[in-house]
Copies of this chain bind each other. A is one copy, B any other.
């Protein structure tokens, strides 16, 4: 069984190492050995230390490698949209199965890849694209075969989770925690994709598509990052027994789907609340199975390589058995609803004048929008007061309109913060 590897960076190096170290175990599980046919890299002549790969296997011509007749499986670890998409579709058109960790491509244009796999009758596996080593996509598409998933809620970005964890643990500001993440190698030089939620949104699209057997692209995902999360938001969360997390949330009700990424407060008793640092976790609710959660390292060469190897074994076994996993090519055509239709809860902090009647006026605004209040706390300060309101479930549109009108009340000096509350 011959493997073509595209890319030999952090993850690819670990894949090569595992293929080498576990070769006899892998051969026993598949029924025949896995053999590296070639490794496409930008600089084939680069010194790669003691990597157990003969020099002559390296090539700069990925397109030629994926077209070779003797290659059975292509492992794509280059990332990005092009030329990865061309290489993958070329490989599949030539009858090769594909294992990839390319979340950007899957989220932007997964339909093209799935259709190409279905047309060619080959496997497309991508466990490594979401939450690295956490066995997540396989359970979603195999273990829950006879069940119906209604909700997926997860922490799928390690950088932002590290930042929010530090803010919670130390009271640091966002800027301080971001600096620390950069110093420790958890944030990239340009952290935009992480802190603005783009990375999480791509993963949310992949998860929602798999969970609900429908097509969701990154453009369908409502997205807010964590740059506006303040130390006082984190402190307010703690005061009500919550922590702040950047969540990706996808729900299904009937033929309607919602998919969103935003910071939210969740109770410390919720299993996701204990997911700290660079770890990832995804919570799944299914009709029969109930609530499930999957937790693990969300990034890193070795964890991601572990996921790639798991896929590689499955794909290789399928090829040997003449089988494939075809379920992703059958789609329901579910509508993705806009954010305004999502039901959620809000935690709202208002700086208000410390005088009688403020609460009554604020409460009337909530009532006018049919938003039911769960708790109110009013704390007098030097010359003003802090009014903190937590609502019951309402549509995001109603909640947003409520906040807009609250800001116009004469006694409201400032809307200090607004954050969604989940997992109650």
A247 an interface residue at 8 Å Cβ cutoff? Answer: no
Chain B nearest CB, measured from A101 CB (Å): 14
Chain B nearest CB, measured from A273 CB (Å): 7
Complex formed: what's the CA distance from A388 to B29 in Å?
50
**Which residues of B have CB within 8 Å of A268?**
274
Chain B nearest CB, measured from A350 CB (Å): 32
Contact at A290–B269, with CB atoms within 8 Å?
A: no
A305 an interface residue at 8 Å Cβ cutoff? Answer: yes
Contact at B327–A302, with CB atoms within 8 Å?
A: no
Chain B residue at smallest Cβ distance from A141? B29
Contact at B294–A144, with CB atoms within 8 Å?
A: no
A357 an interface residue at 8 Å Cβ cutoff? Answer: no
**Which residues of B have CB within 8 Å of A295?**
271, 291-295
**Which residues of B have CB within 8 Å of A275?**
271
**Which residues of B have CB within 8 Å of A134?**
292
Chain B nearest CB, measured from A299 CB (Å): 10
A322 an interface residue at 8 Å Cβ cutoff? Answer: yes
Given A146-B309, A274-B274, decide whether A296 and B296 contact each other with a Cβ distance below 8 A: no
**Which residues of B have CB within 8 Å of A300?**
290
Instruction: Number of A interface residues at 8 Å Cβ cutoff, please give it.
Output: 63
A310 an interface residue at 8 Å Cβ cutoff? Answer: yes
Contact at B296–A147, with CB atoms within 8 Å?
A: no
**Which residues of B have CB within 8 Å of A317?**
323
Given A271-B275, A297-B291, decide whether A138 and B146 contact each other with a Cβ distance below 8 A: no
Contact at B133–A290, with CB atoms within 8 Å?
A: yes
A135 an interface residue at 8 Å Cβ cutoff? Answer: yes
A314 an interface residue at 8 Å Cβ cutoff? Answer: yes
Chain A 268-295 residues near chain B, CB threshold 8 A: 268-271, 273-276, 279, 281, 286-295
Contact at A143–B322, with CB atoms within 8 Å?
A: no
Given A142-B313, A146-B18, A271-B274, decide whether A133 and B306 contact each other with a Cβ distance below 8 A: no
Chain B nearest CB, measured from A270 CB (Å): 7
**Which residues of B have CB within 8 Å of A127?**
143
Chain B nearest CB, measured from A260 CB (Å): 23
A154 an interface residue at 8 Å Cβ cutoff? Answer: no
User: Using a CB–CB distance below 8 Å, which chain A residues touch chain B?
Assistant: 14, 18-19, 22, 25-26, 28-29, 127, 133-135, 138-139, 142-148, 268-271, 273-276, 279, 281, 286-297, 300, 302-303, 305-310, 312-314, 317-318, 320-323, 327, 330
Q: List 23 A-B contacts (CB under 8 A).
A: A14-B288, A18-B288, A19-B146, A22-B148, A25-B145, A133-B292, A135-B143, A135-B292, A138-B143, A142-B314, A145-B310, A146-B309, A147-B310, A269-B274, A271-B295, A289-B297, A289-B302, A290-B296, A291-B295, A291-B296, A292-B297, A294-B294, A317-B323
A-B contacts besides A135-B142, A271-B275, A292-B294, 4 pairs, CB < 8 Å: A135-B138, A135-B139, A289-B296, A294-B294
